[in-house]
Homo-oligomer: A and B are copies of this chain.
């Protein structure tokens, strides 16, 4: 799993839509890659970067109703260790009756170079987070502090988010539709294929917009493919 994915590949992935990326991943046999129930919290959000993961389990009062110690609390440790360019992914078991972090911690992640945050739970201070410009995806907004229902258990382990498996280092790509998980070892290949698919679909959408039937066009037959190749070579 310890594949290092370059920023260039992340950038290329971000230029494709999550819909295109799920289609390319499907060609690799992966059919469960888009997070269910996780949506962007504001308009125009877009991001791509390796996952830095945090796993929450249910809170227990003797562990969670204690003074905060930034050097021991697993969430806080993770925030100070987040990698430049990473997307911070929190497994909240889909529970939304408390937030998973607020605006100050989100700001710290942003300052440290994180390019986005994702959870299948909620955030608190959501309006401030959205205003900060950090792409943020979640299942809900909830002002209660995380310790109400969550105990931070580990960082950088495999997690579930939106019922998709996320391994540390997997590339997390978000757009205005939601979030897709690209396994690290496939990232470069997927980025390349997705760029090509984006181009082809742009061409096809143009033809459809101009009145072509989907028959022969989508999926393209040989004539359409030839037309596409010609179009592409002239760009």
Contact = CB atoms under 8 A, between A and B. Distances in A.
Contacts of A219: 67-68, 70
Copies in the complex: 6
Interface string A112-143: 00000000000011111000000000001111
A39 interface: yes
Given A105-B214, A126-B177, A160-B93, A59 B76 contact: no
B57 A160 contact: yes
Interface in A27-51: 28-34, 36-37, 39
A129 to B, nearest CB: 10
Contacts of A178: 141-143
A158 B153 contact: yes
Contacts of A96: 36-37
Contacts of A93: 93-94, 160, 163
Contacts of A163: 58, 93, 95, 97
A100 interface: no
B143 A31 contact: no
A67 B220 CA distance: 12
Interface string A208-235: 1101011110110000000000000000
Interface of A: 17-19, 21-23, 26, 28-34, 36-37, 39, 57-63, 65, 67-68, 70-71, 76, 79-80, 93-97, 99, 102-105, 107-108, 111, 124-128, 140-145, 148, 151, 153-154, 157-160, 163-165, 175-178, 180, 183, 201, 204-205, 208-209, 211, 213-216, 218-219
